[in-house]
């Protein structure tokens, strides 16, 4: 998280560009690519062995 805030989002922009390029040229199914794009919008926090918390990355800032 410090990496993203330290560069004022520049790292996030470059990361997104690289992800989109890799996603475009990958051999995965169209449905899997759509799922991967949507899951990147969320952060994951493990609460315990049985529970996981998903929350939007936009809410971190």
For 4-53, write each residue's pLDDT tens digit: 555 556 777 777 888 888 888 888 788 888 888 888 888 888 999 999 99
Residues in Cβ contact with 56 at an 8 Å cutoff, skipping those fewer than 6 apart:
41, 42, 43
Per-residue tokens: 3: 């990496």
Instruction: Look at residue 32 in the predicted model and tell me its pLDDT.
Output: 85
The CA R_g of the chain, rounded to the nearest whole Å, is 14
């Amino acid at each position: 998280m410090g990496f993203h805030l330290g560069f004022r989002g520049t790292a996030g922009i470059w990361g997104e560009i690289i992800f989109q390029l890799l996603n475009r040229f990958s051999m995965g199914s169209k449905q899997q690519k759509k799922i991967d794009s949507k899951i990147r919008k969320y952060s994951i926090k493990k609460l315990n062995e049985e529970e996981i918390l998903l929350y939007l990355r936009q809410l971190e800032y």
